[in-house]
Structure 1
């Protein structure tokens, strides 16, 4: 303070001990409070720019002081600021040699601070520039003429008018001193930013006749400001493009910044407080998660139902600081109205589907890639109460065969994960809620569940208790077979009558020999008895054949079967029937047809069903009005292909009409009501499906029907 007092005492013309009191008064009046506040703000940002203070000397005249702050470190490395104080009206302007030779301290400080000084004789226009100021622009001592016009030409064209206006304002007394930031043209064509400060000296009439001032190079500061402004602009542009509202909220409820989405959602905030523009309230909210961030200084995330927009937002609040260090909250809000509604609908949908799955007469299991059951509906847990579903059991704990079943059950899980194919399996097992030792039949339909990339992520297993259903189906199959035998009754009687007539003839011949000769030669008797035994064997074979068709002997697994032999065997029962109905039968059997994969007894039932359908088609009421009775034809053929061996049954009857898509449905028949149960083709279809084969029916060009049975070669 003693050093400051020694500088200011001559100005005040007072004792150094009284300088502090005089200085305190001066700093509270005129332009000084603003200058000090600005300097303090710059210092808070780490900037140390020279500034000007104005004191009143002993005669009441304004004396400008140049304050040059510089950051330094104390002995303990603590940051401090020191300042040089120079009266502007007493700055000398020595030539370059004098400044260098005598080591003028002011110029040394000015050069180190990139500060240049100038003196302008307003009357003559002469403007003396310090060598440091010229050097800042890249010029030597003699490169610039000492005249204000020469200096003005070096001012950037866009800044000349603002500089002239600042000079006019100071000359007119509208500003206590001259101060302006402007651009200068460097000798190399570049731009140099200068902060110009000065004060005029007036004559007795108050007219400015001389100005003293200084220019400081603030190019780096301006470039930094420009970089900050550019970055800020890029940030604002980015925030404006966000599909979410973003704003800054101050402790006084004001909104210093709001992006485009905010303005579109709520309007331009202007001076309105946040609770007003965002909530339509007249007073702050009693509970506000945003303002809690000012206290916690930690991220806050919450969901907000806005009454003004009738939308739901997911809000994120972050603690933030303004450029001057004042606290703010950066708030980002995303419109999640559709998402929230979708979640609500999804929850409702899940509840509906859960209600459906919980009340279905099916057991449902979700199986992961390790074949463990990760979820099950209540019915499945009721069927298998001994299984701990909470432990995610392996599927074999449920889909295990009965101990008496020799076959090892394969749920097909590995096939589903590798081939993404739907599989269906039937298995029998014991259940604790049924009679001891009994077995229940379950059908498992396993469906793949796909992930986003198309892989099979899990399996949905639908488990159906088909015990009673299978029993009913078996009874219906027997009834269908009996119905078919009723149709075959005439042919069976004819087939049995032939060997019976032969037996009667052979026995009658022996009786006549005994009546005529009294005895029969042993050799003749042996021959005649052989004939009797042969015809008896025929009758036995016919009866055995019929018994195999009626009794339940069709549960054997598929095996290699001779299709041609099965057709010929079936026609021993049907040939006579077709002839009795006036049907011309054409048989075309491929002698090279391979063995096929089928159950022999069931395959014969397939042939009989298709043959009976052809006979009954010709007998349909009014179906033969346009046909000659002698023109009833049926073709039965076997053919060999690359992948299939085909059995074709073709007739020229009335055809299938419009019923091609329904003929394999259970209990559906094209015959008159009461004449058929409608199970024949349905049973045929089930047989073929079990063997991996196919059957199709269509109308042919003759007006009748074609049935093609495709079988897999064994």
Structure 2
């Protein structure tokens, strides 16, 4: 009875496990596989029995997939396996042999984990690049006083710390200094704000140290330092001036108080100036490569057109190609490539223009220049936004295709900041797509018909309205009340920043003197209404659509 229970439990374990189990014969062919193969790779058991082990391995991974040849031998590796749909999945394998020579293998799908690792690496590189743009130096000090992470500004101030202890790199000491506030953070576990003067350059830095723990729970100190030399010089000059005024005439007390207020204003101005330099620096670093890309798209289109003309000339002069050339033409679908190539280059140009508009918004924030208001066709901006988002509108394994319904009215050209208004369209349509995807995930057993309806119309002779509606999950009244608050989001951590709708509201109401409203309820979708004047500086208020319905 015990043996039967054991066999039954082993069979259940074999058949119900989400991992890929298989038994391979000495000849290298599958003898038995469990149902997980079909769930993970799409292959049914009857299709794999008698199939060679290496038949599904990615050609580049065959050299590492050695089957064990000795009894009780165990092997482990990661390799790619062919899915029935033609794609590949990363699997982690453990193999061992029995005394009878059979090979037992267990595989676990690690594709998603690898994608997460790649995404984390990309985010880490982006974070490092951003930290290197900071005007403040940043340094992570480990408990053992070894050199931790530092940004480019730290290297500019202290030089290359490689191979040194932190107190050697920063202060040139041979051992930790007990009086240093940074070292007190480890003992007190309390933040420290202090100033440090570089004896070599005379520069003054305001340094903030606070306790931190890494992913392993080990204590660290995060140190940030900002050059406040200019502020200190201003403070010293003001203090000297105060003393002179006090000594000369006590009756000038009111003037002295005014100077103290001026001092506070200078300090605040210095802080805002640092923020503006940071934003301007980021915009400048992005602007250079995108201008390079944008500038090369036009000659690339010309070169490709010339090549296509040569190709057409060849086809005209040699209308009967050899079988090999004809086979190559059919293999790459030459007619489709010629037709689609121009669209591809146009899409690249549109994408680079979009990035340039974003850079322009950053430069506006830092007041490098003024944005230009133009009279444009807003339908073109909406269509461009939809083209950029086309990939998200297509059907995917975890979401169905989203239908776009356009109800455009005949509109005049609208005076607006076209790049910023397109940013509003992008934010609202992206949120609508997120809502529809959430509806699909939560109601996969139902027949969902996700739609986004975009309609435009004249409110009166001076105002236009754009409505963007979806039939997604909708939102509660509580969410609607906070919808346009900065940093408010209902999305999971890491997916939303809570800035999109806040920025959109600012663009519509402040930049265009318009109105942005949302009408929604749970389970009934959401409708965003944008109302802006056809010409700016109009005092006439819109005859709201909501009032006429």
Answer 1 or 2: higher relative contact order, Cα 8 Å, separation at least 6. 2
- Indicate the structure with greater helix content: 2
Larger radius of gyration: 1
The reply to whether TM is greater than 0.5 is no
Structure-1-length-normalised TM-score: 0.31
Structure-2-length-normalised TM-score: 0.40
- Indicate the structure with greater strand content: 1
